Amino acid sequence: MAIMSETFDYARYDRIRPIRWTGDALELLDQRHLPFSTTYLASRSSDEVAAAIRALVVRGAPAIGIAAAWGVVLAARAIDAASGDEALARMQPALDRLNAARPTAVNLAWALARMRAALATAGADWREVLEREARAIETEDLAANHAMGTLGAALIAAGSGVLTHCNTGSLATAGFGTALGVIRAGVAQGRIARVFAGETRPWNQGARLTVWELQQDGIDATLIADSAAAHLMKTGQVQWVIVGADRICANGDTANKIGTYQLAIAAKHHGVGFMVVAPSSTVDMATAHGDEIEIEERDSAELLSFRDERTVAEGVRAWNPVFDVTPHELITAIVTERGVVKQPDAASMAALLRR
Ligand code: MRU
């Protein structure tokens, strides 16, 4: 199969926006109700933003970082200060509450650190500085996704099949997506002939969000049960597994949605490529390896019920870790907007971040 043009119209894929800043509120596309209802929930305080992040109204590592940045802008509305320094001291408790909303995705702490740094050097115009910084975080994320789409797609041979996990698209970012951005680019270029998405139990990000997003673009995708992945690989239908990341350690170990690790093991066994796509804001050089990452555990109700209706016998216990860590040895390539690292390790990750 021939590869079509390497460039394409990104705007064609930029229809969904999970985050909207109105000037006095943050509107979040409520992902708890997708795909059947597209309603936006307005937050008017940083604590409302923190609650929305915790409840998965907004989710996906880059998106929660962007939402938290706007949460800081809202926190600023609640205080008075003559300088950035003074504002920072007054807002610290609100920033801490935002930071505690979810522990695994480093983009949240990264975005808050950026907002803090902007404040620290701001003068009397600190409110405008904050707003500009939040806007920059959002704009840069979209640009990074476009760059990664091109870099990642270039690794894929024409006519390939791919499997993705969770949701890494416009819904999880400022737009276009990370792993899903590579898939969008790969499909547009004629490199990807078949797209499969795992349903991503228990919250069903794949079933509820990813296949819906692809449907909006007219990209044909097939949903599989998470447990069908190894069989899919064995039957030769996919040449790449393409996933996002919540935190990439200094040695390349990668935390992502629960189930990613077993996909990487199955991919290795079947000679299928394993690609991680994430902006450099997801790389955490302060975390040496995966064992140091805090893995979020959520309410077992997510596993024991469906749409608030219990599906499991009363009295049954469940364990619900929502992320896992894929060791770097199982990763074929990490794609960031700064470039691609093949067979990542501590040395190649350090070199990437120096670019
Ligand atoms: O619990 P979620 O839905 O926030 O988890 C999201 C993921 O694990 C994504 O794969 C990751 O954040 C990358 S999103 C571009």
Q: What tens digit of pLDDT does each residue of 199-227 get? A: 999 999 999 999 999 999 999 999 999 99
Q: Measured from the CB, is residue 322 less than 6 Å from ligand 1?
A: yes
Q: What is the percent of the chain with per-residue pLDDT over 90, rounded to a whole number?
A: 94
Q: Which position among 30, 246, 253, 284 bears the catalytic label? A: 246
Contact 333, 340 (CB under 8 A): yes
Quote the tokens at residue 171: 């819904």
DSSP-derived secondary structure for 285-327: TT--SGGGSPPPB--THHHHEETTEE-S-TT-----B-EEEE-
Q: pTM, whole model, 2 decimals?
A: 0.97
246 is catalytic: yes
Q: What is the mean pLDDT of each run of 10 residues along the chain (355 residues)?
A: 65 85 97 96 98 98 98 96 94 97 98 97 94 98 97 98 98 97 96 98 97 95 98 98 98 98 98 98 97 97 91 96 98 98 98 92
CA-closest candidate to residue 155, choices 125, 183, 127, 175 = 183
How much is the pLDDT for 308? Answer: 84
Domains and CATH numbers, the chain: 10-143 (1.20.120.420), 148-354 (3.40.50.10470)
Nearest to 31 by CA among 217, 180, 207: 207
Residue 59: CB within 6 Å of ligand 1?
yes
Q: Is the CB of 178 under 6 A from ligand 1?
A: yes
Please return the burial class of 133, using the count of CB atoms within 10 Å of its CB with bins 0-12, 13-18 and 19+. Answer: buried
